């Protein structure tokens, strides 16, 4: 029985133990759900005054929330200038509130507003790249006793130089062991309950300058040093002499950027990259001088510090400097704004970033990010941005399932990821992204790429080489890498296509016309499911008006084995037990290599008609 000095922790009771406690132990905290963070915004729906509902004065709502003792208003986001107010289309001017409260309080507030307020949880966002193997929790107890398999690794690069900060993953039958190499290139990993025979995969992801390494059923020693040699990016034929000699990536060449006249450089177009910042100390990104640290709400600093490299990688594809070094971007003369949202970005902060874009009259926004659930408050802001003439290019997602939000919004251009054979080593992790259906040009839909009727176009998203801090380069996978290809193309279209020369009013119609031109420039990628590729892979020359917009059907029904390297052909056969095949598609009961050709012969580009998998502009 407890003594008088003891009491149990139950409900609101406090525990005071008999024994002497350290200061840390005396300050006990019961773990429970904290107050939720919510976005509160006026619902902008025409006809809200019907059924006797009077319009809410949002200023009065704000004051009532600030006066409530159990609601903490922590931020207010709204137009910074008359530009944002004019595009809001409501008395509130586009303002929203961010507040912390209980779920019960949020539900009550929503009911009391009679549908005139959006009250939704402020969801976290995630970046959409594929930088490491995805793992899930196992439905069993992890072993805490017994034998352990311990292995030490030495990761070496060019000239047997130790590779520092490489991520090493060793997979057994349960959860993997992970570690990062030290300055000598070494790391030690421990797997409990495993043996050398139960190891399934070894994966090494270097931070920069080298190809990744992946080995199924690895032969790992527990008594000797396991040495892993990485290939330099420049060892690959298409990146020979890189970065000393400037290159275009395989994806840029696939879109025919290499055939574009030199003076097509995206001059006069403003591009925002809402991501993890842009490290403008990188030689390829030194022309980026504008930005906004959304997390800390500062314009002067922060946005140029990229601790996770994601935003810098996207920036290099879009606008890498044209010089004799590194990777050139699509639009090296565009005015780039880096909006830093990660790590830790949420829906409310993305709304704030788009508010910045409206104020600065940005033309194109790259969103290589996504969330779990659609957000009505964010959707309203995306529409405001579109009405202000801002085109949002959004990565589809990397779950391999349905298109994620906001790519699923009808007001954006959703981009899926494709890869191409022979553009990466056969022992790299990029092989894991391959699917068996390959078209006659060697393109395949990336295994991780989300798909659905919302997909508008596809773009290179496997083994994409671009800039990362400090002054290095990395080859990454993801729809995050595909979207910047289209964002860079969009900047070129706005700068150079005849339809946007002279005075082009900023409006939703301008955005729709841009999306239409990009779609009409596409060459179909025939991998058996149009929901994975949309209209296809955009062509730079067609998109800027230097070539006819109507693409010819893709011919050929198989991939010639002569087009594949012996190593890649061996990988394909081992993965799928048969050579890759191009899969013809059937639409409306009619088989066709170009599902859109018959439509394009009879419809003018100005007409709107039904897309085979949803509404589209032709």
Other C-beta atoms lying within 10 Å of the C-beta of residue 529? 15
- If DSSP codes are grouped into helix, strand and coil, which group holds residue 127? strand
What distance in Å separates the CA atoms of residue 463 and residue 18, rounded to the nearest whole number? 61
**Residue 197: which residues within 8 A CB-CB, separation 6 or more?**
none
Neighbours of 574 (CB within 10 A): 11
CB-count burial class (<10 Å; 0-12, 13-18, 19+) for 545 = middle
Pairing of strands 369-370, 364-367: unpaired
Residue 343 has phi, psi (to 5 degrees) of -70, 155
CB-CB contact of 318 with 334 (8 Å): yes
> Are 350 and 505 within 8 A, CB to CB?
no
Catalytic residue among 122, 129, 275, 293: 275
On whether the CB atoms of residues 208 and 472 are closer than 8 A, the answer is: yes
**Cα angle 134-443-263, degrees, rounded to a multiple of 5:** 105
Catalytic residue among 122, 214, 309, 310: 310
The answer to whether 306 is a known catalytic residue is no
The yes-or-no answer on residue 480 being catalytic is: yes
Q: Is 430 a catalytic residue?
A: no
In the 3-class helix/strand/coil scheme, how is 260-297 assigned residue by residue? CCCCCCCCCCEEEEEECCCCCCCHHHCCCCEEEECCCC
Task: List CB contacts of 179: < 8 A, sequence separation 6 or more.
Answer: 167, 168, 187, 188, 189
32 burial via Cβ count (<10 Å: 0-12, 13-18, 19+): exposed
What's the Cα-to-Cα distance from 111 to each of 105, 114, 115, 334, rounded to whole Å?
A: 10, 6, 7, 47
Q: Which of 480, 497, 594, 611 is catalytic?
A: 480
Identify the H or E element spanning 163.
none
Among candidate residues 427, 448, 422, the one with its CA nearest the CA of residue 214? 427
> What letters, b where the CB count within 10 A reaches 16 and e where it falls short, cover 326-352?
bbbbbbbbbbbbbbbbbeebbbbbbbb
Give me the half-sphere count of Cα atoms (radius 13 Å) on the Cβ side of residue 55: 11
Q: How far apart are CA 24 and CA 26, in angstroms?
A: 6
Cα–Cα nearest to 381, from 337, 341, 413, 411: 411
**Active site positions, annotated:** 275, 310, 480
């Amino acid at each position: 029985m407890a003594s008088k000095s003891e009491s149990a922790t139950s409900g609101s009771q406090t525990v005071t133990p008999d024994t002497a406690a350290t200061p840390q132990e005396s300050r006990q905290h019961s773990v429970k759900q904290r107050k939720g963070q919510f976005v509160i915004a006026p619902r902008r729906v025409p006809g809200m005054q019907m059924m006797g509902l009077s319009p809410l004065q949002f200023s009065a709502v704000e004051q009532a929330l600030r006066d409530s003792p159990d609601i903490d208003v922590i931020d207010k986001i709204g137009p910074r200038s008359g530009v944002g107010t004019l595009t809001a289309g409501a008395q509130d001017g586009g303002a929203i509130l961010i507040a912390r409260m209980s779920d019960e309080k949020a539900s009550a507030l929503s009911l009391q507003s009679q549908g005139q307020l959006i009250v939704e949880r402020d969801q976290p966002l995630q970046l959409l790249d594929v930088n490491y193997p995805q793992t899930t929790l196992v439905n069993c107890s992890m072993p805490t006793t017994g034998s352990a398999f311990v292995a030490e690794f030495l990761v070496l690069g060019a000239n047997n130089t130790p590779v520092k900060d490489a991520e090493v993953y060793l997979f057994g039958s349960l959860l993997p062991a992970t570690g990062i190499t030290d300055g000598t290139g070494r790391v030690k990993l421990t797997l409990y309950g495993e043996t050398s025979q139960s190891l399934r995969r070894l994966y090494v992801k270097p931070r920069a300058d080298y190809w990744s390494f992946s080995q199924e059923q690895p032969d790992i020693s527990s008594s000797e040093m396991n040495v892993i040699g990485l290939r330099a990016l420049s060892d690959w034929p298409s990146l020979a002499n890189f970065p000393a000699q400037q290159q275009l990536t395989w994806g840029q060449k696939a879109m025919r950027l290499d055939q574009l006249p030199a003076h097509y450089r995206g001059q006069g177009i403003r591009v925002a990259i809402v991501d993890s910042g842009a490290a403008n100390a990188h030689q390829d990104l030194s022309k980026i001088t504008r930005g906004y640290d959304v997390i800390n709400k500062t314009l002067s600093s922060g946005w140029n510090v990229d601790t996770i490299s994601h935003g810098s990688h996207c920036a290099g594809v879009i606008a890498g400097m044209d010089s004799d070094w590194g990777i050139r971007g699509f639009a090296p003369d565009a005015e780039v704004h880096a909006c830093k949202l990660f790590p830790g970005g949420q829906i409310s902060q993305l709304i704030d970033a788009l508010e910045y874009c409206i104020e600065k009259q940005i033309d194109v926004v790259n969103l290589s990010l996504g969330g779990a659930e659609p957000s009505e408050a964010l959707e309203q802001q995306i529409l405001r941005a579109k009405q202000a003439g801002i085109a949002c290019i959004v990565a589809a997602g990397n779950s391999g399932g349905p298109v994620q939000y906001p790519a699923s919004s009808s007001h954006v251009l959703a981009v899926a990821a494709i890869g191409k054979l022979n553009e990466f080593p056969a022992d790299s992790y990029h092989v894991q992204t391959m699917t068996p259906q390959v078209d006659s040009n060697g393109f395949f839909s990336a295994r991780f790429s989300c798909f659905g009727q919302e997909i508008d176009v596809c773009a290179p998203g496997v083994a994409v080489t671009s800039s990362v801090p400090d002054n290095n380069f990395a080859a990454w996978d993801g729809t995050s890498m595909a979207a910047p290809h289209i964002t860079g193309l969009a900047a070129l279209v706005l700068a150079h296509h005849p339809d946007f020369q002279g005075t082009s009013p900023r409006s939703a119609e301008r955005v729709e016309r841009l999306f239409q031109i990009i779609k009409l420039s596409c060459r179909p990628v025939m991998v058996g499911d149009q929901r994975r590729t949309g209209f296809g892979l955009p062509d730079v020359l067609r998109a800027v008006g230097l070539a006819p917009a109507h693409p010819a059907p893709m011919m050929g029904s198989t991939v010639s084995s002569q087009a594949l390297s012996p190593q890649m052909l061996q990988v394909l056969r081992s993965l799928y037990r048969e050579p890759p095949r191009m899969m013809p598609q059937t639409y409306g009961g009619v088989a066709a290599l170009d599902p859109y050709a018959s439509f394009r012969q009879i419809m003018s580009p100005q007409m709107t008609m039904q897309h085979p998998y949803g509404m589209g502009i032709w």
